[in-house]
Amino acid sequence: MSPSRCRTSSRIAFLAFLLAAASTPAVAADVAFKLVDQNKLPVADAVIWLVALDPVAAPFAPATAKRSDIGQVAGQFEPFVTAVRAGASVRFPNNDRVQHHVYSLSPAKKFELPLHSPGKADTIVFDKAGVVAVGCNIHDWMSAYVVVVDSAWFAVTVADGGGKIPGVPPGRYRAEIWHPRLPANDKREVAVSEAAAAPVAVELSLKAGFRARRTPPAAGGGYK
Amino acid sequence: MFRLRRFSTRLLILLLGLLFAALAATYIFVSRASFSNAIAHAETNLALAAGIFDETTRQRIEYLAGSAAVMSGDYAIRQVLQQEVPDRATLSSTLESYTQRVGAPVIALLDAQGRLQASSNPGMENENIGPFRYLSEQAAAADKPVASGFAYLDKALHALVVVPLYAPAPNVLGWFGLAFPIDEAIAQRLKSASQVEVTFVSTEVSGPPRVLASTLPADIAQAVAGIAAARMAGPQRYKPSPEPAAAPRAETIELPGDRYVTLFKTQAMLGTPDIMIVLQRALSAELAGARELEGQILGISLVALTVAAIIAFWIARGVSQPVLQLVAHTRHVAAGDYTRRLELKRADELGALATAFNEMSAGLTERDRVRDLLDKNVSPEIAAQLLREGAALGGEEREVTMLFADLRGFTTMSEKLRPQELLALLNRYLDRMSTEIERQGGVIDKFIGDAIMALFGAPTAQGDAAERAIAAALGMERALTQLNAELVAEGRPPLGMGIGINTARVVAGNIGSQRRLNYSVIGDGVNVASRLQSETRKTEFHANIITSAATVAALRVKTCSLRPLGSVQVKGRAEPVEIFAVEPPA
């Protein structure tokens, strides 16, 4: 998604919000998704967000209202994937025994939290939509993603591939799905109605994933 | 029957023996060549494997040294180190991250004094990084940016490399120590690259030799370790030994299950006795191709031997069968049967032999026939003498008793009888008389019409020739009586016969011309005998047999009655001859 498109859609959403606020009170629904890959295995850690195609009243929620944490625990980022609305801030608490050096080189947000000892928790504001890949300078296997979206309606799928976006007003939406192993975002139109609907089933074609993993020390008969 | 002396057996043995010898020689030659080839090939493989090990180890050390140089220049670790009190846990986890970057299982960080600052492996302590410290001291002493070697890290064999951590160069802030194990995986990789069995053997000062890593089964590897330890002759070296000047020679050693072409390669260690890298190539694997070839040769040999045996048997039969026929034929000939003929339709030498045999049989038949005729025409004794001494003119003087017999009244009879009847009668008479003469060992010299001339004491000397002659005469008389009885029974007139016997020295031998000759005797005594026969015609004597005083004198045993008849004048002789009538003993 290009930044300009993001901006346009956000403008439309804002207009829709104004219109909705002026006319009928919004009746919100929960939109559930169920993601599987080409092997019918559930896809976790995918981010789904909705972009309204009709003018709707988006709920006004300040970007800072909900704060996310990406902790550093036992040499890993926790959680692996975090979705935030543009303008939200994310805290990076070091809950580990060792120091870490968190950084990102992604265009959506370049930042660096220089070598910091356990107990420190710096906060970064993500004001631009986009995918921010986060790493640790001294631990190659540490990896996390912050997916910044221009939408009030988003969710991250859990282990069973399910994700639920709450409080979505009825109407037509474009659903976008991101996953680290998805070559391009999946985009599809979904209609939201007041009636309870079955989860939107989506099959994604994931590429083979490479993720730096921490190998157990002394593997392969080396020094013990 | 399989007899060694038979021609077919010998031919079979000769052919098969020659072929077998040739095939066996080929087999042995190929086998030996294959064996030495296999050894040479194995030795090349071993040298190659040793080279691969050295080169891959060198390359990996070089790579790790390069990686360590990059690591030491890395901004991230400098930040960690730049802190007033570097956090050891963070350092260790950073090094752990680096192990994955550079593919070195072990990374240690030493300070400038060689003390362990941090390591990728939680178990590593300051007291067991001696080899790293040793290398860092070497590098510092030699002022070189890298030092490497082989050592034990926690009893496991490792290749180690140490590079300085500059802050910045030439200020040494500390040392990076990297290591990778020389383990089963390395041994297996070397084996898959070179088809060579690899065993790393530690030869400690005390205790049994230890297998550090091996591609061989544990028990065989332990046996190899024992042999390797024995090869480490002389006192154990504690100092790193210099590189061996000459390439070590491969040798063949026997291990349970197989023989191995083996190369013992010493590898210097840091501060501990050398280890042995034992590179081996199983002979059975090296010889597999050769064994296949040998199997094929063996198969071809067996087929060739079988075919040769069949052909040899066939040829031998072709030769021995006719030979056996010839043998049977010869036996017949030896037994006197010359009538058989060999039927061998062959164009070769055996066919010619059979033809010659048949000709010989024909010749023998001819000779037999001649001999038979000779026997009938001359007496057997004369025939024998002729055959023995040949028919040459000439003779010898010897004492011979001569007997003359003559039919009386034969001329009158010949007028009365038809010639055929006369001949039959004459032959009948002569046959009976001849039988009597021959019975006494006399020799019929000749028949002169109805007269018989016989010799005693010639051609074979007889001591009792006179007795024999007298006995023959008496026997003839008896035989005539018998014949006469038969003739009378047949209605014919009886025959009368007179016999004269004289003993004298005469010349006996072959008499005649070059083309025709007779064995006979010549001399005055012959005439006397003939004359005495004539005397029997004188009726006043009443004697059928008359002999001379010379014969009587020759008698040593008196076998008859002698009646003196006085002396008679013999024609052509001055001296009168005293004669006696011979009569059967009273």
Q: How far apart are CA A133 and CA A70, in angstroms?
A: 12
Contacts of B96 in chain A (CB under 8 A): 139, 214, 217
Residue numbers in A near B180 (CB within 8 A): 222
pLDDT in tens, B18-70: 888 998 998 899 889 988 888 998 999 899 999 999 999 999 999 999 888 88
The per-residue pLDDT for range A67-83, each reduced to its tens digit, is 789 999 998 999 999 99
A132-155: pLDDT as tens digits = 999 999 998 999 999 999 998 999
CA–CA separation, B205 and B212 (whole Å): 15
- Residue of A98, A136, A223 to mutate, testing the B interface (most B Cβ within 10 Å of its Cβ): A223
Share of chain B above pLDDT 70, in %: 94
Predicted confidence (pLDDT) at residue A111 exceeds the cutoff of 90: yes
Report d(CA A223, CA A208) in Å as an integer.
32
Can you give the pLDDT at residue A180? 92
User: What is the structure's pLDDT at B324?
Assistant: 82
Hey, what are B288's tokens? 């597999």
d(CA B61, CA B69): 12
Find the closest chain A residue to B151 by CA distance. A223
Which chain A residues contact residue B186 at CB under 8 A? Answer: none
The CATH number fitting domain B73-181, selected from 3.40.190.10, 1.10.10.10, 3.30.450.20, 3.50.50.60: 3.30.450.20
Chain segment B423-479, per-residue pLDDT in tens:
898 999 999 999 999 899 888 888 888 899 999 987 878 888 999 999 999 999 999
d(Cα B184, Cα A35) in Å, to the nearest integer? 45
Domain ranges within chain B, ordered by starting residue: 73-181, 184-288, 336-373, 391-583
B133 pLDDT above the threshold of 60: yes
Distance CA B398, CA B44 (A): 105
Nearest to B53 by CA among B257, B230, B261, B192: B192
Query: How would DSSP label each residue in chain A?
Result: --HHHHHHHHHHHHHHHHHHHHSSPP--EEEEEEEEETTS-B--S-EEEEEESS--------TTSS-EE-EEETTEEESSEEEEETTEEEEEEB-SSS-EEEEEEETTEEEEEEEE-TT-EEEEEE-S-EEEEEEESS-TT-EEEEEEES-S-EEE--TTSEEEEEEEPSEEEEEEEE-TT-SS-EEEEEEE-SS----EEEEE-PPPP-----PPTTTTS---
Q: Which of residues 99-138 of B touch A (CB under 8 A)?
A: 99-101, 105-106, 120-124
Tell me whether residues A97 and B89 touch, CB distance under 8 A: yes
- Write out chain B residues lying below 8 Å of A224, CB-based: 121, 123, 154, 156
Numbers of helices and strands, H then E, in chain B: 15, 18
Indicate if the pLDDT at residue B341 is higher than 90.
no
ipTM passes above 0.85: no
Structure token pair of residue A208? 């083979």
Q: What is the pLDDT of residue A21?
A: 47
Residue in B75, B83, B94, B121 to test binding to A, most A beta-carbons within 10 Å:
B94
What is d(CA A145, CA A80) in angstroms, rounded to the nearest whole number?
6
CB–CB contact B79 A215 (8 Å): no
Checking if the pLDDT of B168 tops 90, the result is no
| Architecture of the domain whose range is B391-583 | 2-Layer Sandwich (3.30)
The mean pLDDT of chain A is 83
Q: Is the pLDDT of residue A13 over 70?
A: no
- Asked if the Cβ–Cβ distance from A224 to B156 is below 8 Å, we say yes
The nearest alpha carbon in chain B to A138 belongs to B94
What length does chain A have?
224
What 8-state DSSP symbol labels residue B240? P
User: CA-CA distance, B429 to B483, in Å (whole number)?
Assistant: 8
The band of B266, judged by pLDDT with boundaries at 50, 70 and 90, is confident
Q: Give the pLDDT of residue B205.
A: 64
Q: b/e per residue, A26-51, with b = 16+ CB within 10 A? A: beebebbbbbbbeeeeebbbbbbbbb
Query: How confident is the model at residue B84, as a pLDDT?
Result: 82
User: Closest to A223 (Cβ–Cβ): which among B87, B97, B124?
Assistant: B124
- Checking if the pLDDT of B191 tops 90, the result is yes
Q: Set out the domains of chain A in order of their start, with CATH numbers.
A: 3-193 (2.60.40.420)
- Please count the CA atoms within 13 angstroms of the CA of B184 that sit on its side-chain side: 8
Contacts of B554 (CB under 8 A, 6+ apart): B399, B401, B465, B466, B503
Please tell me which of the candidates A138, A218, A220 has its beta carbon nearest to residue B94: A138
Please give the residue of chain A at the shortest CA–CA distance from B99.
A217
Which among B79, B101, B124 has the least Cβ separation from residue A101?
B79
Rounded mean pLDDT, B302-317 = 86
pLDDT of residue B390: 64
Q: What's residue A12's pLDDT?
A: 59
Asked if B545 contacts B551 with a C-beta cutoff of 8 angstroms, the reply is no
State yes or no: pLDDT of B235 exceeds 70.
Answer: no
- Nearest alpha carbon to residue B191 among B53, B349, B21, B39: B53
Residue-wise pLDDT tens digits, A206-223? 988 766 666 654 443 444
Do the bridges between strand B197-202 and strand B210-214 make them parallel or antiparallel, or are there none, so unpaired?
A: antiparallel
**Dihedrals phi, psi of A89, to nearest 5 degrees:** -110, 150
Looking at every residue in chain B, the average pLDDT score rounds to 85
